[in-house]
Amino acid sequence: MEATIQQDTLAQELALPYAVSPDAIDFYRRNGYVKLKQVLSPAVLHYYGDIITKLVFRLNTLIKPMEERTTYERAFLQVMNLWQEDEQAKEFVFSPRLAKIAADLMGVQGVRLYHDQALYKEPSGGITPWHADQFYWPLESPNTVTVWIPLQETPMEMGPLAFAEGSQHVDIGRNLEISDDSEAVLANELRQRNFPMNDTPFDLGEVSYHAGWTYHRAGPNLSSHPRKVMTMIYMDKDQIITEPRNQFQVADWAKWLANVPVGSHPQDKLNPVLFSY
């Protein structure tokens, strides 16, 4: 009974609105990301973090030794659409509190889920190279955003997410998959163009939101503990599916959008509306 009461209380917290300040909204729209403190309580992160962690280790298929992995594989263990695997994980992924923040930052009337993904950077895990997420998505509008939720305090030695401020506005490297090449090319381009980089640690309960075309990266995990992160990708509820422009978008179109015809809106079954005014 006590466990049920606790779960109900924590689920209610995931539904409570979070007031996004006008300054935070302005910062997001200028810089392509924003970090927000005290979005989730330690109790919520502990409870749902344990559920997510168990799912990650049950569903993970990457078992090669670290020295045999590619740069991308060394970056993190990646497990997607946990909401389809567990009802309590679904509670977390479908949080109206987190979805409303996404809608407010983008200035849209509502948001759909594109998909969720857990990203666990193991001890000795390598860098996450510079990249922009929307390279992978066959979506027309730039009104897309990812919430990045560390499930623990994340100091510099764990490799917190870093952002190139304002980079969502420039068309550089948009044809690059996440790789050693994207790290080298984008690091050089962003440095030459003098984009400021924010690579500060994350407090417990602090989360970030970054736009689909914002360039970001993360350092290696030099600690002795996994860097556990849960993410959800949101899109404008009125998003339009476009003709895939690369092989990755072809795969995403099939997996996350069920090959819904080009020019259509995503369907509610796979891409439900999580918040709407």
Condensed to tens digits (0 to 9), the pLDDT of residues 50-63 reads 999 999 989 876 56
Q: Phi first, then psi: what are they for 263, rounded to 5°?
A: 90, -5
Residue 25: inside a domain, yes or no? yes
Q: What's the total number of domains in the chain?
A: 1
Residue 244: inside a domain, yes or no? yes
* Mean pLDDT, range 235-258, rounded to an integer: 97
User: 193: helix, coil or strand?
Assistant: coil
**Mean pLDDT over the full length of the chain:** 92
For residues 136 and 249, what is the distance between their CA atoms, to the nearest angstrom?
5
Start-to-end CA span in the chain (Å): 35
pLDDT tens digits, 63-110? 656 565 565 555 558 899 999 999 999 999 999 999 999 999 999 999
User: 265: helix, coil or strand?
Assistant: coil
Share of the chain above pLDDT 70, in %: 92
* Mean pLDDT, range 25-39, rounded to an integer: 98
For residues 106 and 25, what is the distance between their CA atoms, to the nearest angstrom?
8
113 touches 93 (CB < 8 A): yes
Let me know how long the chain is: 277
Residue 112 amino acid letter: R
Residue 187 burial (C-beta neighbours within 10 Å; 0-12, 13-18, 19+):
middle
**174 — alpha (psi -120 to 50), left (phi > 0) or beta?**
alpha
CATH number, domain at 201? 2.60.120.620
* Mean pLDDT, range 210-223, rounded to an integer: 96
Q: What is the pTM of this model?
A: 0.93
Residue 163: inside a domain, yes or no? yes
Residue 236: inside a domain, yes or no? yes
HSE-CB of 207 using CA atoms within 13 angstroms:
26
33 pLDDT above the threshold of 70: yes
Residue 14: inside a domain, yes or no? yes
pLDDT tens digits, 109-141? 999 999 999 999 988 888 999 999 999 999 999
For residues 32 and 159, what is the distance between their CA atoms, to the nearest angstrom?
20
Residue 276: inside a domain, yes or no? no
Paired tokens of 116: 């969720």
| Residues of the domain holding 170 | 2-261
Alpha-helical runs (H) found in 32-155: 42-59, 71-75, 87-93, 96-106
Residue 21: inside a domain, yes or no? yes
